[in-house]
Amino acid sequence: MKARALFLIIVLIIVGCGAPSAAVPPTATPPAAPSATPLSEEAALLATMAANAPSPAEATPTVPLPTLFPTITLGPTAEPRPLPAGWWDTAVCYEIFVRSFYDSDGDGIGDINGLIAKLDYINDGDPTGGSDLGANCIWLMPVAEAATYHGYDVIDYNAIEKDYGTNDDFKRLVAEANRRGIRVIVDLVLNHTSSAHPWFISALNDPASPYRDWYIWSPVDPGYRGPWGQQVWHRSPARNEYYYGVFVAEMPDLNYRNPEVVAEAEKIAAFWLNEMGVDGFRLDAIKHIVENGSEQEGTRETHAWMRSFEAAIERIRPGAFTVGEVFGGRAGSLAAYYPDQLDTYFEFGVAEGILRSANTGAPGPYLTAVEAALNRLPYQRWAPFLTNHDQERVMTVLGGDGGKARVAAIALLTSPGLPFVYYGEEIGMSGAKPDERIRTPMQWTGEPGAGFTTGSPWQAPQSDFPTVNVAVQDTDPDSLLNVYRILIRLHTTRPALGKGDFTALNATGGAAAFLRRSGDDAALVVINFSASPLSGVTLSTAQSSLDPGAYTPELLFGSGNLSPLIVGANGSISAYALPEIPPQRAVIVGLGR
């Protein structure tokens, strides 16, 4: 009886305790909003995603948290600096989605050999002119082997996407581009990999994997969401745990608190610079590189990592060029990314200012955005554009208005900075979301397949391709394509327009007017954003960088008769009169002594 009673007591104790269920992982209480107070050494050490570990009252994790690597060292910043002189001074970069540019083999997918076949359209190597755009830099959206069509979920950093060709094809592309004076930069996607990457598959399935701490894990759902309200903690399909991915579950973030991951990123950069021969990188999603719990963009550790990565690139290939994507970045928010991090960043504020002025006809938004960038950012170390592969195409934003598209191009290509042009923008291609429809095949001709392929295109061209294409615009001197050709060539051949200073002028009548000067080369730009002609425009300023004296105007773009420009003391100009400026056009004038 005593034995039976003891047995019943033991059973009751076991039932009363109850083992925790493993069916659903516990959810932690959402953390408080990040404090603006600088992190202490201890807080920084613990500021990984695993900082939201369960309390003792919760179930014991079945999978251990990753090793807490020390925080990235926050070294001193350098003084603001201009870039050393280089090819970027007077460059125009042309953004290309290889899948949609030109198909060389009829399978409906653009490829490296197709891009090689169309290099003369971008730049034929003859600086005196011709039918090429004259762009001297191309930015290729991701070309490494990836899981999906867009390439931003890499599965092999050291191999060209099979749909596009081979590593040898790519090396030939670089050689052919360089022979024409075209620099090649590629999209480098380092924030995350594909969930199909061998590293992640190993880490997912084996807690003892050498790649386990290359990613960010938690035994519970920490409960907070991402910067735009998205889900960032994703349930593992392998066990009761979660992993972090700021974009989607199929793109798990890498853990840059792990020195092994930092070293691997530098090896990847070295491969592309030394083995593949590229001239630099566009770095994707750069503000998300290192997280501090629920602080998920622009952290101090992110800036520290970027300083070390930029220094590594300079050691690997001195003079290699870097441009960063800080989505939505403008003068105020971009200021933290200088002076000793990447070379330049896309300036979304200037892009928005140009489009707002083009849409409204008022010069204010454009001039305000440019002045803000000039006042807040190191000179020439920012990259203006109109739209890119993540946004509705500029012609769609401008309501299909060819005049607005023309004046937007004028503003872009006469502004300071390194301008980027999205493929097809120069012919007025349209495109609205979803993403596949803003990345449609290049419209070369009005023939079936838009001259992009002899097969069935991976994505149908826009419906207007029979009338909006390169062949139709090629011989029309007033076409958007030929406006781009003229403006790109002016930007790349006139130092004043490529790298000159910027002095806004007082203009009557609603024009945007400014002077640019580099050494002995000077230019005057007057833009009419409105849909009406501007008559009686006069220009004035109390000071500029021009030396006193009389300047002979050379009409570079536009029409009309111009009088000599008289410049007084301190570069002053008084009531300089201009001829009528037609709607949504400009006058660009070279100034000689």
Rg (Cα) of the chain, in Å, rounded? 28
> CA-CA distance, 185 to 537, in Å (whole number)?
42
- Decide: helix, strand or coil at residue 121: helix
One pLDDT digit (tens) per residue for the chain, 593 residues: 434 443 333 333 333 333 333 333 333 333 333 333 333 333 333 333 333 333 333 333 344 445 556 666 665 555 656 688 999 999 999 999 999 999 999 999 999 999 999 999 999 999 877 899 999 999 999 999 999 999 999 999 999 999 999 999 999 999 999 999 999 999 999 999 999 999 999 999 999 999 999 999 999 999 999 999 999 999 999 999 999 999 999 999 999 999 999 999 999 999 999 999 999 999 999 999 999 989 999 999 999 999 999 999 999 999 999 999 999 999 999 999 998 899 999 999 999 999 999 999 999 999 999 999 999 999 889 999 999 999 999 999 999 999 999 999 999 999 999 999 999 999 999 999 999 999 999 999 999 999 999 999 999 999 999 999 999 999 999 999 999 999 999 999 999 999 999 999 999 999 999 999 999 999 999 999 999 999 999 999 999 999 999 999 999 999 999 999 999 999 999 999 999 999 999 999 999 98
Q: In what order do the strands lie in the sheet with 242-244?
A: 217-218, 242-244, 233-235
Burial degree of 283 (CB within 10 A; 0-12, 13-18, 19+)? buried
Peptide bond into 339 cis (omega under 30): yes
For residues 164 and 143, the answer to whether their CB atoms sit within 8 Å is: yes
What does the alpha-carbon distance between residue 525 and residue 41 come to, in Å, rounded to a whole number? Answer: 52
**Which string of b and e fits 212-242 if b means at least 16 CB within 10 Å?**
bbbbbbbbbbbebebeeeeebbbebeeebbb
What's the whole-model pTM score?
0.88
Task: State phi, psi for 158 to the nearest 5 degrees.
Answer: -110, 15
Q: Judging by DSSP bridges, how do beta strands 565-567 and 217-218 pair with one another?
A: unpaired
In 3D space, the residue among 145, 139, 245 whose CA is nearest the CA of residue 200 turns out to be 245
Q: How far is CA 557 from CA 214, 257, 363, in A?
A: 54, 52, 19
Cα→Cα distances 432→166, 397, 403, 462, 513, Å:
32, 9, 20, 10, 32
- Integer angstrom CA distances of residue 486 from 163, 414, 472: 34, 11, 17
Q: Pick the closest to residue 221 from 247, 244, 252, 248 (CA basis).
A: 244
CA 41 – CA 538 distance, rounded (Å): 60
User: Could you please report the per-residue DSSP string of 79-120?
Assistant: PP-PPPS-GGGG--EEEE-HHHH--SSSSSS--HHHHHHTHH
Answer whether 189's CB lies under 8 Å from 197's CB: no
Which positions are annotated as active-site residues?
284, 325
Burial of residue 428 (CB within 10 Å: 0-12, 13-18, 19+) is buried
Answer for the pair 525, 588: CB distance below 8 angstroms, yes or no: yes
